[in-house]
Amino acid sequence: MPMISSVLVANRGEIARRIFRTARSLGLSTVAVYSTADARMPYVDEADAGVGLPGNAPGETYLRAELMVEAALRAGADAVHPGYGFLSENAAFAQAVIDAGLTWIGPPVDAISSMGSKIEAKKLMAAAGVPVLAELTPAEVSADDLPVLVKASAGGGGRGMRVVSRLADLAGEIEAASAEALSAFGDGTVFCERYLAQGRHIEVQVMADQHGTIWAVGERECSIQRRHQKVVEEAPSPLVERIPSMRPALFDAARKAAAAIGYVGAGTVEFLADESGNFYFLEMNTRLQVEHPVTEETTGLDLVALQFAVASGEHLPPEPPPTAGHAIEVRLYAEDPLHDWQPQTGVLHRFAVEARVRVDSGVEDESEVSPYYDAMLAKVIAYGDDRATVARRLARALERAKVHGVGTNRDLLVWILRHPAFLAGETDTAFFAKHGVGAAVDDAVVRVSALAAALADAAGRRTPVRVPSGWRNLASQPQRKSFRYGDGVVEVEYRLTRDGLVVDGNITLIDSFSDHVVLEVDGVRRAFEVAAYDGITCVDSALGSVMLTPVARFTDPAEQVAAGSLVAPMPGTVVRVGVQVGDVVTQGQPLVWLEAMKMEHLIAAPMAGVVGELKVAAGQQVEVGAVLAVVGENS
């Protein structure tokens, strides 16, 4: 059996750091690969050696199997771990690693191939006695079958998936899903299956050695999703806990699935379940899952260490350890949930989460969040004896985290963890459809945080002073400052007189410094930490965190765009243009499709009218704020 001494991780960011951490604990040396955009990311510095991959787009860097093998050989690695995403479920890559004489930290090539096509995988699982949803060819779908889910046969991560509720929409959605799948995975094959609008996404972690032992380690529930991508994951599943007879059946099905393809290593068998406990095979991920930490927390296992052990030929014990307690993981994304989950890019000036929770992150202070890769910044995980305590602890840790410089879904995560439906275990895939997309910080907190930001700014950056500028012995004009927050503007107005701070509401100024303001709000003393960066001000307090954009008193005409302009909300690649100059369009009609951070975003007409200018074409790279098209009035 191979003796592993040095491992190359054919991946980036959070998962590379996670694998390096275990590799170091095992006494292995580590090799990183990095694109041009990732050259200064934390995982590169943490490796013993690094090999650059010129370029930025995944297709020219992390998806180039031959570059990965060449990098491993050049750096003297004797093993390759693929992480998740990118080439992790690419059978040809696994074979290339093996053919180069390197140890592949993953399942057999044939197992990867057999699960690579969801269509063929479902046939194999049905033959093995695993429950499956019937596959529908597009030509077979009738009104009685609706709603249906159009799915890409290759790949995952929500790409190439469309829910269809009207038969008239089916052809167009199949075409769109096929095009997205072809772009993402190089295979445009799609199929349809019955859609459970309020299903539960339940998955079983399996681990198998080379000697026939197959573990069903525990189940996870990952039902709260946006765009078919997971947001919150937990172990054990609230649904399975409610239906005790479901767990043995799930574990049996997962072991059958692994045995049917001769599986070795870590993998996950995913099921879709209904509220009665009936479940159906979705797919098998032949790799480590993003959400593996919740299984580690509830079992005490190091799944990455087990991957190394299995690849080295070691035996697993006959049975896995029992599970205990509860763990919840949330994915902290650089995105705006209130605006169609638009990715956010820029410099992450500050990233700090309290030590009482586990943080698996790909970033640190001053990391650059680029538009080329997935929008996930970190996974934050809490563990405890019971679910309610874990949810409360995790919500508090997120609320007090310092995440400065890039917009995130942090407030949404806190809102979910405190939502009555979540706490009751009502976490089906329709969670956002039922409850909307909420935020944890209310308007009152935003207003008082803006006041603290204004007072800190007035205190200046000199030696700390107790009273900010603007103080007058006699009544004078109020001090005013404006901040953008979300879609609105927060106006701050105050006077500093011999009687103290004068604002609307019952607020008293206690102390004011350039980075720290203490106010008494309705008789309760509150401390606010204020951090000002170029173009943004971040205010952290026990009430929550608020990121504000100071509004200049005078507008630069060069920054204004013509009325009716479609502006790129993020850097990305134009994948489709749906109009031509002179076309008549309606307000809200999709005109341009952008791809950024593994997601496709449509840019719609801001008004009804005529396309007067078209400034982009398919395949073109654009920067944030770039004008894509201009819609004028219809004469």
pLDDT of residue 464: 46
Taking 90 as the threshold, does the pLDDT of residue 533 lie above it?
yes
Query: Residue 14 is part of which domain span?
Result: 6-105
Other Cβ atoms closer than 10 A to 598: 18
Domain termination residue (choose one: 521, 550, 579): 550
What is the C-alpha separation between 274 and 112, in angstroms, rounded?
Answer: 28
Question: Residue 563 belongs to a domain with what CATH number?
Answer: 2.40.50.100
Question: Residue 474 belongs to a domain with what CATH number?
Answer: 3.30.700
Going by C-alpha positions, the residue among 633, 631, 628 that lies closest to residue 577 is 628
Instruction: Give the burial class of 443: count Cβ atoms within 10 A of its Cβ; 0-12 exposed, 13-18 middle, 19 or more buried.
Output: exposed
* Confidence category of residue 555, pLDDT binned at 50, 70, 90: low
Taking 50 as the threshold, does the pLDDT of residue 577 lie above it?
yes
How much of the chain exceeds pLDDT 70, in percent? 94
Q: Would 123 be classed as within a structural domain?
A: no
CA angle centred on 271, ends 269 and 273, rounded to 5°: 155
* Confidence category of residue 277, pLDDT binned at 50, 70, 90: very high
Question: 412-462: per-residue pLDDT in tens?
Answer: 999 999 999 999 999 999 999 999 999 878 999 999 999 999 999 988 744
Q: Would 156 be classed as within a structural domain?
A: yes
Structure tokens at 215: 């573990």
Task: For residue 287, indicate whether it is catalytic.
Answer: yes
Range in 51-55, 192-196, 490-494, 502-506 with the lowest mean pLDDT: 502-506
Same domain as 338, residue 205: yes
Same domain as 449, residue 427: no
Domain termination residue (choose one: 88, 105, 122): 105
Structure tokens at 88: 């992790």
**DSSP character at residue 506:** S
Same domain as 329, residue 238: yes
Same domain as 399, residue 288: yes
- The distance from CA 91 to its chain's CA centroid, rounded to whole angstroms, is 25
Question: Residue 172 belongs to a domain with what CATH number?
Answer: 3.30.1490.20
Amino acid in position 3: M
Same domain as 565, residue 529: no
What is the C-alpha separation between 228 and 193, in angstroms, rounded?
Answer: 15
pTM value?
0.88
pLDDT of residue 635: 65
Same domain as 190, residue 207: no
Q: Is the peptide bond before 248 cis (omega within 30 degrees of 0)?
A: no
Q: Would 508 be classed as within a structural domain?
A: yes
- Long-range own/partner contacts, residues 514-520 (CB < 8 A, 24 or more apart): 514/456, 514/457, 514/459, 514/460, 514/461, 514/462, 514/464, 515/456, 516/456, 517/452, 517/455, 517/456, 517/459, 519/448, 519/451, 519/452
**DSSP character at residue 301:** -
pLDDT of residue 227: 85
Same domain as 493, residue 401: no
Instruction: Give the burial class of 473: count Cβ atoms within 10 A of its Cβ; 0-12 exposed, 13-18 middle, 19 or more buried.
Output: exposed
pLDDT of residue 582: 85
Domain termination residue (choose one: 484, 518, 550): 550
Q: Exposed e or buried b for every residue in 291-315, given b needs 16+ CB within 10 A?
A: bbbbbbbbbebbbbebbbbbbeeee
Same domain as 222, residue 275: yes
Same domain as 381, residue 345: yes
Q: Would 606 be classed as within a structural domain?
A: yes
Q: Would 114 be classed as within a structural domain?
A: no
Question: 578-614: per-residue pLDDT in tens?
Answer: 888 888 988 888 889 888 766 677 888 888 889 988 8
Question: 53-93: per-residue pLDDT in tens?
Answer: 999 999 999 999 999 999 999 999 999 999 999 999 999 99
* Confidence category of residue 376, pLDDT binned at 50, 70, 90: very high
Same domain as 167, residue 290: no
Same domain as 417, residue 304: yes
- Long-range own/partner contacts, residues 611-618 (CB < 8 A, 24 or more apart): 611/579, 611/580, 611/581, 611/582, 611/583, 611/585, 612/564, 612/581, 613/581, 614/577, 614/579, 614/580, 614/581, 616/574, 616/577, 616/592, 617/574, 617/577, 618/574, 618/575, 618/576, 618/577
**DSSP character at residue 36:** S
Question: 463-474: per-residue pLDDT in tens?
Answer: 444 555 555 555
Report the residue count for the chain.
635
Structure tokens at 47: 């490796």
**Across the strands, what pairs with 193?**
135, 149
Question: Residue 77 belongs to a domain with what CATH number?
Answer: 3.40.50.20
Q: Would 577 be classed as within a structural domain?
A: yes
Question: Residue 233 belongs to a domain with what CATH number?
Answer: 3.30.470.20
Who contacts 33 (Cβ-Cβ below 8 Å, separation ≥6)? 8, 9, 10, 11, 12, 50, 51, 52, 53, 61, 62, 67, 68, 71
Q: Would 565 be classed as within a structural domain?
A: yes
pLDDT of residue 465: 45
Choose the catalytic residue: 18, 162, 247, 287. Answer: 287
Per the structure, the count of domains in the chain is 5
Same domain as 189, residue 279: no
Q: Would 245 be classed as within a structural domain?
A: yes
Going by C-alpha positions, the residue among 361, 532, 520, 546 that lies closest to residue 445 is 546
